[in-house]
Amino acid sequence: MKNKMNDIKVLYLRTNQYCNAHCFMCDFWKNSKSEITEEQFENALNMSKTVEMIRFTGGEPLLCRKLPEYIKKCHSRGIKTSIITNGLILDEKLDVLVKNGLDQIVISVDGSTSELHDRLRGTKGLWKKIDMVLERIEKKYPLLHTRVNTVVSEENISDIANIARWLDKHNVEQWSIIPIKLDNHKWSDKITLEDFKREYINFQKNIEDCKIQLMGYSANWAGNIEEFWKGKSYIRPKGNCHITHMVAFYDPFTNHFYPCNCIPHRKLSFCNKQEEKEWYFEHGHEYCEGCEPLNAYCADFPEKIEENIFNF
């Protein structure tokens, strides 16, 4: 980690590799309980003087013992902080996180009911805990920025319009919809085109009356419906990926800075960080399959991050 990152605005920081939920699309819960070290955190914090926000991720970052301390250190330097959490232990951690300067909470929610969400996340009682903590945030911490991430699949596509109304009820600010990654997954193998079209169009009609801000291309997360359903079309940047010049993802367990939070699972190798960054800047829109709708949008309109760091 010798080279400075002189243009990065948002730094994703993986605090740990383990999780307390058993989500169907992820197996972090199988990993050992390893965490980022204080030295690694300090090194990452000192890598760039241009970072405006650090987003703590995992695994489940709330399981990181020193997370409140890391948030406090960021706050003391004027760096905004955000966490991505499954919400299972958020209620018990909330006060100390806010006390130490947390600015934003991003919660993963895949259903408008406990029956659906808990099944998809493999964790009983999870939805009720999220429902209660969102109500508590609304009453006690109205200035805390809130966002929900929803991974949409054939399992919950008929429910996402209901999720929108539930989020409105809790006055959640932002909603990012992320289609399930297409690695070994084809919608055409799971749901008929007619059913897919019906549910997708129903979602788009229902969100017209919702006040929540849909992030990036989330309102049109499938793009070309028929091609997406066949697995032949993905949401991706339309040209050069400007995200690589504004965002970095640090994984202390590989000691690597990736030029985007979507890249760690990709298998390309490069001589150095700069080569990797520039390659994805030029070729990411051709290579990456299944970019997140928010990332693709910010890659096309990087000025949105400049306007407001919480737009990413």
By CB atoms closer than 10 A (0-12, 13-18, 19+), residue 78 is exposed
Q: What is the CATH number of the domain that holds 91?
A: 3.20.20.70
Predicted local distance difference test score (pLDDT) of residue 5: 67
**Is residue 2 in some structural domain?**
no
**Counting every residue, how long is the chain?**
312
Which H or E run includes 282?
A: helix 273-287
Predicted local distance difference test score (pLDDT) of residue 12: 97
Predicted local distance difference test score (pLDDT) of residue 53: 98
Phi first, then psi: what are they for 152, rounded to 5°? -100, 135
pLDDT in tens, 214-252: 999 999 999 999 999 998 888 899 999 999 999 999 999
pLDDT in tens, 74-91: 999 999 999 999 999 999
**Is residue 104 in some structural domain?**
yes
**Is residue 277 in some structural domain?**
yes
**Cβ atoms within 10 A of the Cβ of 146, count?**
21
Number of domains the chain contains: 1
Predicted local distance difference test score (pLDDT) of residue 2: 44
Specify whether the CB–CB gap between 50 and 93 falls below 8 A.
no
**Is residue 1 in some structural domain?**
no
pLDDT < 70 stretches in the chain:
1-5, 29, 182-184
Predicted local distance difference test score (pLDDT) of residue 1: 42
Domain encompassing residue 122: 10-311
Indicate the residue type of 151. V
Q: How far is CA 127 from the centre of its chain?
A: 18
